[in-house]
Amino acid sequence: MSPKQIIIVSNDTDISQLAYRLLEGGEHKLYRAESCDLARNIIQEERIDVILLGFPSSNQCLPHLDYLLESGIDPAVIALLDLDDHERYLMCHKEGALDCLTAPLTVERLLKSIERCVAIKSLEREKRDFVSMLSHDLKNPLTAAIGSIDLVREKRLGPLNPEQQDYLTSAIESCNEVVSMIDNLLDIHRFEGGKLVFNKSPLNLVELTRYVLHSFRGIIKQVQINLTTRLDDNIPELLIDRSRFSRVIANLVANAVKFTPDGGDIVVSCGYGVSETSKMSVVLQVKDSGSGISPVDLPLIFDRFVQASKQGGRGSGGSGLGLAFCKMTVEAHCGTIKANSQKGEGSEFTITLPIPEE
Ligand code: ADP
């Protein structure tokens, strides 16, 4: 391992003093700061690779490191605990520490942990870069393909019969499905890397729902699904990231279409409601009469890459990322998303977005 820039951040816990003594005079460049706030400038200016965080008795320190993600610096964080306390150990991991070290601390243990955490960070970075490169390299040609197919479908290059037009519409819908999967994947990775920025502006969710549903009219007609809408135009505008929320609605409607047999029913509603904490809210619901989800799968479906037990027909395919993206986005808008379903009796997905009080 090449020499790294390491900072020890502590308000003088025994173990952090020991860590300093053990590393002093070694191959790594060492810095020291008494608090996270004092460490901030050094971390940014010196492009620190590893933070050794002497975790104080109050648990105030790790969350202060959030700004690192915002600033694009991504050092490995190793917590140094004076006491071998299971609760604090778990908390350090939850807050992003890759390792937690307690006494007795030796130079070998410390160096091994630093090497391991630097390697993990570098792998994480490579994974992120790979995903975003792959996604862009897949997405750009697909977008070009959609443009070309659309040109033909719109009869700009000559007449088409209705059957040809239907095939081209299906081709575009399939491409759009893949583009949406790539976007979900990209956003989830951005979110994990702390780099996802939601562009929120005042927006009426009913208008957005109508707009999204419009793009499903082709497939809904093709599979003869009965779509009912209950949309209350009087709801207030909320601060919403239009592009991401339209993907949330599209993911839910696409699933409803995918898991509902030909001739089935889908009801999309959007209007006033109350949240679990009795706050006035805007509630969006997508309900279908499709295959439903078993009680075993139901608690897992919002996790990444989870797909419920084998589904046939139009239910096959997918990436298992759509609902994870929905949950992430809805929660970033201070809302909740819940699924209700019985195997064989359809599913109901409900998004609740509290209306701000003033
Ligand atoms: P996918 O790309 O597989 O649809 P999602 O994250 O959107 O990924 O959904 C995860 C899983 O949840 C699906 O694979 C499916 O098993 C289940 N699911 C989601 N929506 C429905 C629905 N409306 N009806 C039945 N099962 C559903």
How would residue 252 be classed by pLDDT, with cut points 50, 70 and 90?
A: very high
Instruction: Return the pLDDT at 189.
Output: 81
* Ligand 1 nearest atom to the CA of residue 302, by list position: 6
Range with the poorest average pLDDT among 34-38, 97-101, 136-140:
34-38
User: Which of 176, 255, 343 has most ligand 1 atoms within 8 Å of its beta carbon, as the pocket-test mutant?
Assistant: 255
Residue with tokens 């659309």: 150
The Cα 140–Cα 147 span in angstroms is 11
Q: Indicate if the pLDDT at residue 62 is higher than 60.
A: no
How would residue 87 be classed by pLDDT, with cut points 50, 70 and 90?
A: confident
Reported pTM:
0.69
Non-local CB neighbours of 202 within 8 Å, separated by 6+ positions: 237, 238, 239, 240
- Which residue's CA lies nearest to atom 4 of ligand 1? 318
How would residue 89 be classed by pLDDT, with cut points 50, 70 and 90?
A: confident
Q: What letter represents residue 21's amino acid? A: R
Instruction: Return the pLDDT at 221.
Output: 87
Taking each helix axis from N to C end, the angle separating 242-258 and 322-332, rounded to the nearest 10 degrees, works out to 140
Instruction: Kindly give the distance from the C-alpha atom of residue 301 to the centroid of ligand 1, in angstroms, as a whole number.
Output: 7
Give, for 288, the enclosing helix (H) or strand (E): strand 280-288
| Dihedral sign, Cα of residue 329, residue 292, residue 314, residue 264 | negative
CA nearest to 230, candidates 275, 288, 285 = 285
286's tokens: 């997508």
Contact 48, 6 (CB under 8 A): yes
Segment 129-145 mean pLDDT: 83
Non-local CB neighbours of 331 within 8 Å, separated by 6+ positions: 337
Question: What is the tens place of the pLDDT at every residue in 260-297?
Answer: 999 999 999 999 999 888 889 999 999 999 999 999 99
Instruction: Return the pLDDT at 29.
Output: 93
Residues having CB closer than 6 A to ligand 1 are: 251, 255-256, 259, 288, 290-293, 301, 306-308, 311, 318-324, 347
Segment 220-234 mean pLDDT: 93
Segment 103-131 mean pLDDT: 89
Contact 325, 248 (CB under 8 A): yes
